[in-house]
Structure 1
Amino acid sequence: MPIAFADRLANVETSAIRELFKLLGKPGIISFAGGFPDSAMFDVEGIREASERVLREEPGAALQYGATEGYQPLREQLSAFMAAKGALDVAPEGLIVTTGSQQALDLLGKTLISPGDKVIVEGPTFLATIQCFRLYGAQLISAPIDGQGVQTDRLEQLIVEHHPKFVYLIPTFGNPSGATLSLERRRKVLELAVKYQTVVVEDDPYGDLYFGEAPPPSLLALSREVPGSREWLVHCGSLSKVLSPGLRVGWMIAPAALLAKATMCKQFSDAHTSTFAQATAARYLQAGRMPATLARVRQVYAERAQAMGDALRQGLGDAIGFVQPQGGLFVWARLTDAGGKVADGNVLAQRAIDKGVAFVPGAPFFCAEPDHATLRLSFATADVDKIREGVARLAQAVQA
């Protein structure tokens, strides 16, 4: 007799990205599929110094069980880190440390979503968010976006129509879209939260990865300009894209009542995020190495993003359309069907694997009405020469 699994698992499927990675064992393949940073960018020396200092100065605390809310020195460092980005009034007690920002999303599912609740997400949005919220029984509503992020007029219509439990956004260099919400729309989102008393979740793992001019202030930083909006705002942050995913250090800033419920649920899940990882991250931030690390990462990713944009324009021409990214890790593109060339991302993905290059088709990033002509390309983990060669192979696949 087969194992009887929980009914909630009927609402989710295995990640399309995870399935794609099974095909990447082919020797010599160039991958634009991953959504992770380049391990060559990790400040190994700085992390080593931080961890050694932790073991030398406070081994008992770093290797022991810790508070579910987080290691207090790290909460203090994260408070200062957020203040440097304009969120001046985040007290250490106003945030909890999570095991990556992914856990923050899971805690939101546990604390806010009952089966059948409606949640508005961007179309497209982070694939793991779709899976996570569906696991808890959410009915997901797709809000359209453009080059300036979510279309706030349409978002307001959807809020009025569906009365969602909350709205989930990645306002800055979104995954997969790369779009950045304009300053005007950011204010509008906060005003909508107050007007309709709707929780807005700001997921911000990429906001520090800008290539030129800094993006607009986060919703969290802007909230002090919109009275009452802080009561309806949740902010999720992470060190994964800027320091190291392996540390699994993220955080959630939210109203006190929600933080209390999230802390309770976290206690059931993992008791606390690794105290050793937290202590290492705290020492790293305290050492003041982050600005130099960010400057280096921004420069390298900016060069790679430009190389990918140039190669796509040169190699694929009018067969593909995209907006040149100004930050983050991704190019979000759309096949145009120009000249009768392939216009389905899934079809192109299979052809591309045969040519020795991989990317992620865009359809799985939509919770409804997927655009099958879209695709996500990550420039983060390939150097400029590999990017040029990979796009050349992609061009061959488009022509095939």
Structure 2
Amino acid sequence: MQFSFSSRYRITPTSFLDELFRVSRDPSIISFAGGLPDTDLIDLDGIRDATAAVLEEEGRAALQYTTTDGYLPLRECIARRYQERLGIPAVPEEIQIVNGSQQCLDIMGKIFISRGSHIGMEAPGYLGAIDAFSLYEPIIHTVPIIEGGPDPDRFEKLIHNHPLSFFYGIPNCQNPSGTTYSDERRRHLAEILTGSGCAFFEDDAFGELFFDGKPRLPMKHYLLDQTILSGSFSKIIAPGLRIGWIYAPVPVLERFNHAKQAADLHSNLLSQMILVRYLQSNSLDLHIKRITAVYKEKCRLICDHLDALGLTHTEPEGGMFLMATLPEGTSSMQLFKEGVKAGVAILPGIPFYPHGGGEDTIRINFSSPSTEEINLGMERLKKAFRAL
């Protein structure tokens, strides 16, 4: 049978993620290409206890339908953390629970993007966002990431010259580059955006993972009513729970709520209730401190190996990723292929540029592999690099 797929889907390019997942399934390959947190750092005992308590005390309610906006005690926890940690006047009514922050990307595209709409994002930019937005057929404009964040001159020209529905960015420990916006840059971008009619869509999936433990004030702090902020428990508790959130002005949430209701009615209530019980019974700050201590060591180890190879690279302040630049004339795609032969996978920079670029860059994930895997994998990468 010839199925009649939408024109939107027919023009969407094949995602490099398909190839990445295929390679990652091979147990003989050490992968620096994915984006997984360290499995060993998931608090299995704490989550098991929270799950048992919920099922024992509130089991029937936890297995029932709930409202689209999400479990109120969880939204209260999230709002309270914004208030206490960042001094932002968040209230539960401005927060909605989603199935991982990736769902925010899809629903934001659904409610903000018409065919031919203009949106902006960083270059390099998050591959998952490029894939999600592209399905709604926007015109994507990019601003290069330089030291301290997006190039402010290019950003200002973009805001003034195009009717952007929103600009999507990751100010903290950006995926893929690992770059963090400076406070000065955040203020400058907020000044440019003020009164422009362009929303800032702030993806804060890594904002809790700074190696020094110090929070950075989000764009939301400087542009409260013009910023839509998404967050996630995937990087700090467990991705399998599939719980994230969006924190946005009420007019945005009204449309967001309607679109989410049409998509899945509501997010997993059992996971939401488990998270609340876990947060009530455990110190999230202490748990995050353990995570960032390990990630800091792994990041430094990767950087030392890259230095030994003579490759320039970003110096992340936190998060899970960094980018390295290859010598002139060296193809990141060829290095990916040669690496797979040697038993190691890196992610070429090409998919992170919607209009071309990244041929000489690679993204490396340092959170998932163990120290032993990092040492062995980087030796394999050196072998692949020399083979080119």
When normalised by structure 2's length, the TM-score is: 0.97
Matches of 2:287 and 2:349 in 1, distance apart? Answer: 31
User: 1:298 & 1:134 partners in 2: Cα distance?
Assistant: 33
How far residue 21 of structure 1 moved from its aligned partner, in angstroms, is 2.4
The residue that corresponds to 2:51 in the other structure is 51
Is the 2:95–2:245 Cα contact (8 Å) retained in structure 1?
yes
Shift in Å at residue 147 of structure 1? 2.8
CA distance in 2, matches of 1:387, 1:33: 12
Equivalent residues of 1:68, 1:273 under 8 A apart: yes
Match of residue 293 from structure 1? 287
* Mapped pair 1:370 → 2:357: yes
Mapped contact 2:20–2:34 kept (Cα < 8 A):
no
| Aligned-CA RMSD value | 1.4
Letter in 2 for 1:326: E
CA contact (8 A) 1:42 1:244 kept: yes
Query: 1:282 is matched with which residue?
Result: 276
After TM superposition, give the deviation of residue 240 of structure 1 in Å.
Answer: 0.5
Distance across 2 between alignment mates of 1:33 and 1:109: 26
2:224 alignment partner in structure 1: 230
Q: Is the 8 A contact 2:159 2:193 kept in 1?
A: no
Contact 1:77/1:286 (8 A) holds in 2: no
- Aligned residue type for 1:390: G
Amino acid at match of 2:364: L
In structure 1, what is the equivalent of residue 101 of structure 2?
A: 101
- Of 303, 321, 333, the match for 1:330: 321
Structural mapping, 1:205-224, within 5 Å = 205-212=205-212, 214-220=214-220, 222-223=221-222
Change (3 A) 1:198 1:303: same
The one-letter amino acid paired with 1:327 is G
The reply on whether 1:170 has 2:173 as its aligned counterpart is: no
Q: Give the structure-1-normalised TM-score.
A: 0.94
Tell me how far 1:313 sits from its aligned partner: 0.9
2:307 is equivalent to residue 353 of structure 1: no
* Distance in structure 1 (CA, Å) of the matches to 2:175 and 2:10: 25
Q: Deviations 1:71-120 (Å, cap 9, x if unpaired)?
A: 01111111112223214311011110111101111111111111100100
Alignment partners' CA distance in 2, 1:123 and 1:77: 34
Separation in structure 2 between the aligned mates of residue 183 and residue 23 of structure 1, nearest angstrom? 38
Q: Secondary structure at the residue paired with 2:116? A: coil
- Partner of 1:226 in structure 2? none
The residue type equivalent to 1:296 in the other structure is R
CA distance in 2, matches of 1:79, 1:140: 32
Partner of 1:396: 383
Is the 8 Å Cα contact of residues 11 and 134 (structure 1) preserved in structure 2? Answer: no
Instruction: Identify the residue that residue 261 of structure 2 maps to in structure 1.
Output: 267
Matched residue, 1:8: 8
Which segment drifts farther, 284-293 or 44-53? 284-293
Letter in 1 for 2:286: A
Contact 1:332–1:376 (CA<8 Å) still a contact in 2?
Answer: yes
SS in 2 for 1:100: coil
Q: Displacement of 1:188 after TM fit?
A: 1.6
* Matches of 1:270 and 1:185, distance apart in 2: 38
Q: What is the match of residue 131 of structure 1?
A: 131
Can you list the C-alpha shifts for 1:142-192, whole angstroms capped at 9, x where unaligned?
111113111122101011111211100000000001100010111122222
Q: Which runs of 5+ in 2 are unaligned?
A: none
What count of residue pairs does the alignment treat as equivalent? 387
User: What CA distance in whole angstroms lies between the structure 2 residues aligned with 1:291 and 1:231?
Assistant: 28
**CA offset at residue 17 of structure 1?**
2.5
Q: In 1, distance between residues paired with 2:217 and 2:365?
A: 25
Task: Determine helix, strand or coil for the equivalent of 1:385.
Answer: helix
Q: Secondary structure at the match of 1:331?
A: strand
1:247 to 241, 244, 268: 241
Q: CA deviation at 1:28?
A: 2.5
Query: What does 1:19-168 align with in structure 2 at a 5 Å threshold?
Result: 19-168=19-168
- Cα separation, 1, equivalents of 2:87 and 2:28: 45
**Does the 8 A contact of 2:33 with 2:363 survive in 1?**
yes
Query: Could you tell me which amino acid in structure 1 is paired with residue 147 of structure 2?
Result: G
Partners in 2 of 1:215 and 1:126 — Cα distance?
A: 22
Equivalent position amino acid for 2:375 in 1 = R
Change (3 A) 1:26 1:281: closer
Q: Which runs of 5+ in 1 are unaligned?
A: 224-228
- Provide the C-alpha distance between the structure 2 equivalents of 1:289 and 1:249, rounded to a whole number of angstroms: 19
User: Does the residue aligned with 2:176 lie in a helix, a strand or coil?
Assistant: coil
Distance 1:187 1:376 in 2: 28
| Alpha-carbon contact 2:121-2:143 (below 8 Å) kept | yes
Whole-Å Cα distance in 1 between the matches of residues 342 and 219 of structure 2? Answer: 42
Give the CA deviation at 1:213: 5.4
Which of 235-244 and 366-375 deviates more? 366-375
Local SS of the residue matching 1:145: strand
Shift of 1:371: 2.1
Q: Distance in 2 between matches of 1:281 and 1:347?
A: 43
AA partner of residue 344 (structure 1): S
Equivalent in the alignment of 2:250:
256
